[in-house]
Amino acid sequence: MFKKAIILMIISALAFALLNVFVKSLTQFNVYQIVFFRSIGSLIFTIPFLLHYKIPILGKKRFLLISRGVVGFIAMTLFFASLKYLSMGPAVSIRYISPIFAAIFALLLLKENIKYLQWLCFALAFSGVVILKGFDANINGIGLLFALLSAFFTGLVFIIIRKIGNSDHPMVVVNYFMIIAALFGGVLSFNEWTTPIGIEWVMLLSLGVFGYFGQYYMTKAIQLAEVNQVAPLKYIEVIFTMIIGAIWLDETYTLISLLGILLILIGLILNFVVKR
């Protein structure tokens, strides 16, 4: 079961990496339109799932579900926007510091304790961000800001999901997110809509497919094995994204940027180990 969980986690990381690469390559479309197609593509799976298993689509904790959708939309939009300014490696790595913000929110809002070693891990991860900004001339300031804000709002999403708890089925939570993101993305992209041509339709609609299966296989992997055994493997997404980006989009990385990314990943993985 453990080997199967590892395989599923790797497939999940690859799906998310392909999602990142496709978003990065679709520069001719505005970010809201990309969010719209990303959401519509996932709704093709979530709505039939809920209907098939007769799960109430509206859920129970509706205010929190709507809040999760709105905050999630903001986080996703900011991350996709950051990809227009940054290479994919730094953008994805910085987005992954969201557990730092989640821990701070948990401390302030849920009164949870944070171990001293966790603060050291957070400092190590954030030092990677500082190195990227302070010593890598290729890092765009606006892109860095978007990625950090995306991580901030993603951290808030974690807290909202914690508040929802087991009251609602996970697919209901995802479905709310996708519906709200599709609505906001569709409305905000209306004035700058670019009609896709040929293969662009496939690429845009595949965003939702990659996102759905990335989430699905990650969930299945966590169900098959202990969380502390497989969860750190999700950071393979960064490696996959950088490799595919280098091959497909000719992205290059300096030693300084690689050092910054490495520090971020080490800090996050150590935090996970300490927390467990």
Angstrom distance (rounded) from CA 77 to CA 22: 15
For the cut 70, the answer to whether the pLDDT of residue 227 exceeds it is no
For the cut 70, the answer to whether the pLDDT of residue 221 exceeds it is yes
* Residue 73: predicted pLDDT: 97
* Residue 108: predicted pLDDT: 87
Question: Could you count the other beta carbons within 10 Å of the beta carbon of residue 34?
Answer: 25
CA gyration radius for the chain?
18
* Residue 21: predicted pLDDT: 94
Domain chopping of the chain, boundaries: 39-208+251-275
Q: What mean pLDDT value characterizes the chain?
A: 89
* Residue 262: predicted pLDDT: 92
111: burial class by Cβ within 10 Å (0-12, 13-18, 19+)? exposed
For the cut 70, the answer to whether the pLDDT of residue 87 exceeds it is yes
Residue of 44, 88, 7 whose CA lies nearest to 210: 44
Q: Tokens in use for 9? A: 């986690």
pLDDT tens figures, 156-177: 998 898 888 888 888 899 999 9
Angstrom distance (rounded) from CA 224 to CA 222: 5
Lowest mean pLDDT, pick from 92-101, 131-140, 172-181: 131-140
Q: How confident is the model at residue 70 (pLDDT cuts 50, 70, 90)?
A: very high
For the cut 90, the answer to whether the pLDDT of residue 253 exceeds it is no
φ and ψ of 226, to 5 deg: -65, 140
Is the CB of residue 238 less than 8 Å from the CB of residue 21? no
Alpha helices in 96-233 (DSSP H): 98-109, 116-135, 141-164, 170-188, 199-224, 227-230
Is the CB of residue 273 less than 8 Å from the CB of residue 228? yes
If you search the block for the tokens 């992205």, which residue do you land on?
A: 251
* Residue 17: predicted pLDDT: 94
Is the CB of residue 257 less than 8 Å from the CB of residue 88? no
Highest mean pLDDT among 1-15, 131-145, 217-231: 1-15
Q: How confident is the model at residue 210 (pLDDT cuts 50, 70, 90)?
A: very high
Q: Tokens in use for 174? A: 């995802």
For the cut 90, the answer to whether the pLDDT of residue 37 exceeds it is yes
Lowest mean pLDDT, pick from 61-70, 126-135, 151-160, 173-182: 126-135
Q: Which amino acid is at 207?
A: L
Report which secondary-structure segment, H or E, holds 271. helix 255-275
- pLDDT (average), residues 247-252: 89
If you search the block for the tokens 């390559």, which residue do you land on?
A: 25
**SS3 assignment, position 92:** helix
pTM: 0.91
Angstrom distance (rounded) from CA 228 to CA 168: 24
φ and ψ of 83, to 5 deg: -70, -20
